[in-house]
Amino acid sequence: MARVLVVDAEPRTVLVLGRALEEYGHSVDAAYDGPQTLELANTGAYQLVLLVLPLPASSGVDVLRRIIAARPEQQVIVLSALRDVETKVRCLDLGAVDYVTKPFSLAELLARVRRRLADANGERVLRAGPVTLDLQRRAVEIGGDSIP
């Protein structure tokens, strides 16, 4: 499975998110502030970063900008109580792959994490009703039957 960095100043949030991700078999590391986040994220060891805004002693948006500047391929999902459109657009424009507002459903967040990790692993499967299109294998199935 994947290695995920969970970033939040609140240890309880990190614990809850970490446990949920570990139940899916992911390896989870934690960071609690901007400098620690940058140090860990810049190692390139993570398939996904869950970055909670705001962060103490640094701008979470600046941390996002610096992560993406150092590693443009890094997938970052921003979790934030900040609901204004300007912040959402800014984070997405800086390179966040998703922006989830608090409070959020843990099930929904985990679905978004699964989707992003599948994208990072090159899994490209589209489904519509009984039709499955595997872009990676260039294969089509209808109702479970392969179409040549």
pLDDT tens, 65-99? 999 999 999 999 999 999 999 999 999 999 999 99
This prediction has a pTM of 0.81
> What does the mean pLDDT of the chain come to?
90
Is residue 85 domain-resident?
A: yes
The answer on pLDDT for 123 being more than 60 is: no
| Number of independent structural domains in the chain | 1
CATH of the domain at 98: 3.40.50.2300
Is residue 130 domain-resident?
A: no
Is residue 133 domain-resident?
A: no
Beta carbons within 8 Å of 95's beta carbon, 6+ residues apart: 64, 65, 67, 68, 72, 74, 76
Spatial distance between the Cα atoms of 72 and 68, rounded to a whole number of angstroms: 5
Is residue 128 domain-resident?
A: no
Is residue 138 domain-resident?
A: no
Is residue 134 domain-resident?
A: no
Give the residue numbers spanning the domain of 110. Answer: 3-123
> In which band, very low, low, confident or very high, does the pLDDT at 46 lie, cut at 50, 70 and 90?
very high
